[in-house]
């Protein structure tokens, strides 16, 4: 079985980080991806798909620190669907991309340090300390 998702897109808003009751960091952000094609009438069409992304622990902290609205990002992870009961008693569902690897793409931000393509996923957790970056 395989559950793997890879997307490249732009953040729709600044990430939101919080801590769970047991102290784990969790960051949520939305990423828009686009697909361009020509329809049967010969018209150029652009479709945008939005992904809800969830990052945990050190990856969550790094995403909250370095990502901002509009920033291009590569996210690799797995899809997960959650359910809960709404205030009206109806069962609600949402699908989220649980991030395992995030790479910051695009140019340098004007307001802080930024390294294009900086890997900050689970594979590198503990290997990269933002304080050790040379800028």
pLDDT class of 106 with cuts at 50, 70, 90: confident
- CATH number, domain containing residue 57: 2.40.50.140
The pTM assigned to this predicted structure is 0.76
Residue 24 lies in domain: 1-81
Tell me if 24 is assigned to some domain: yes
Q: Which tens digit of pLDDT belongs to each residue from 92-103?
A: 999 999 999 999
> What is the tens place of the pLDDT at every residue in 57-90?
999 999 999 999 999 999 999 999 999 999 999 9
* C-alpha distances out from residue 80 to 94, 97, 121, 122, Å: 8, 6, 18, 17
134: in domain: no
Cα gap 77→110, rounded to integer Å:
29
Number of domains the chain contains: 1
């Amino acid at each position: 079985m395989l559950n793997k998702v890879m997307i490249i897109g732009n953040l729709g808003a600044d990430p939101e980080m919080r801590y769970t009751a047991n102290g784990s960091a969790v960051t949520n952000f939305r990423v828009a991806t686009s697909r361009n094609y020509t329809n049967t009438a010969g018209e150029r069409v652009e479709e945008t798909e939005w992904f809800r992304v969830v990052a945990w622990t050190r990856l969550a902290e790094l995403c909250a620190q370095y990502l901002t609205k509009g920033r291009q990002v590569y996210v690799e992870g797995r899809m997960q669907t959650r359910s809960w009961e709404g205030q009206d008693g109806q069962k609600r569902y949402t699908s989220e991309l649980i991030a395992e690897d995030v790479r910051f793409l695009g140019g340098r931000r004007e307001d802080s340090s930024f390294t294009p393509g900086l890997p900050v996923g689970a594979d590198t957790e503990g290997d990269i300390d933002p304080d050790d970056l040379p800028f």
